[in-house]
Chain A
């Protein structure tokens, strides 16, 4: 039999074994590293998404944001409440971070303001601040969180969004997937998924620190939605609408996550 001979021939020296294993592993390493680098370059240079309800992000990254939203939406529950604080801990000077849509130079008279609720068939329900203030008031003192990374404990008062829906018999509208809100001048606008809007801590707020809102904080009515970043807390709500599609959203058009939930 020639088998033993063949085996002898194939027996590698220790040096050969070392070289062979080095070659295989370093070559594999180089190929994988090259592949990873190419993959990164593809992602980094990937084109921006097509402008729509969202814009400003790279196409694959927007896709990832939307997929990630679906996963984390499973953890959303009306029973998960934002932490609340005693009144003494609320900031006396509440930070004003943005004036888009409520710029001081813009003419606006809060006394003639009415909330415009867009209903089916173009019907518009007009609601005055007095009507809203006649509803049960809910107050919340919580840690307001900005997408930039700062947070501040602040004290707000207003009508629970879910109370508002019930009182004005908008329940059928609240079965739709999204709520859209815009400033009267239409320069700032947000889209909120209805479960977040109906969360028990979401307010249509008209008070900060137990006083009526000043203009820079969104007088006469603003959104306070603790399950979202500050970018979704629209000041000076002009119109409110419902839809099964995502309403336009100011910061989602600037590359931010549409959901932006906390």
Chain B
């Protein structure tokens, strides 16, 4: 028998879908800014594997010579990005939804089993509630990363007025590297997230828009347990 099972709150769905375009705009405008001093590379043992970003890439995305424009977009949408994230965190704390989100003590061990299951190495996945252990870690990490982006961003934006933030981030120079690395992190998260959403299927995807999943439940025996503790 089909049953509607509530999954995601309206607030969570709102924050998720508002964040998506906001983060896209922040990354895009951030790339316009980064172009002004595009010095970062992926280098291991003296060998440079990759330069952020290759010329063809910048050209294809129409990035060069738009630093001022990038800053004007970045410093407007930073407000919405921060407020949306702030709202989400406050909501998650007050509603108690954090219990379904924050990793548990055994989550790190379990996440490994989830990974093996997802890679079709292990047949069974550990039992889960709303999120499995890997999701708990990933979705909590992305929130921490968001806070990190705001802090490193402020440290770069006003390193003199917020000198203590710049200090926490290891200085102005390093804060810029962290800010950039977090952005690369979002892109990697996005790629894995999309693959997982496709693999998880329609029911799961729908729940982030409609809020519920449809599950098939075995009909329960029609015996009601008589509860004596009735309210007067």
- Chain A residues close to B by CB (< 8 Å): 14-15, 17-18, 21-22, 25-26, 29, 32-33, 36, 40, 56-58, 61-62, 64-65, 68, 72, 75-77, 80-83, 143, 145-151, 226-227, 251, 254-257, 261-262
Contacts and interface: CB of A to CB of B under 8 A. Distances in A.
A143 B214 contact: no
A21 B67 contact: no
Secondary structure class of chain B's binding surface, majority of residues: helix
Nearest first, the 8 closest Cβ-Cβ pairs linking A and B are: A149-B37, A255-B68, A148-B36, A61-B72, A64-B76, A25-B210, A75-B161, A148-B37
Contact of B160 (A80, A149, A150): A80
A25 B161 contact: no
A71 to B, nearest CB: 9
8 contacts: A14-B3, A26-B210, A65-B76, A80-B163, A255-B69, A257-B72, A257-B75, A261-B158
Given A75-B162, A76-B161, A145-B159, A26 B72 contact: no
A68 B206 CA distance: 38
Given A15-B2, A18-B214, 19 more contacts: A14-B2, A18-B2, A25-B209, A29-B17, A32-B17, A57-B68, A57-B69, A68-B79, A81-B163, A82-B160, A83-B171, A143-B172, A147-B67, A149-B34, A150-B39, A254-B68, A261-B158, A262-B159, A262-B160
Contact of B68 (A17, A36, A256): A256
Contacts, number: 105
Which of the four size classes fits the interface of chain B? 35 or more
A255 B160 CA distance: 23
A232 to B, nearest CB: 13
B76 A68 contact: yes
Nearest to A57: B72
B173 interface: yes
Given A80-B160, A147-B67, A262-B160, A29 B209 contact: yes
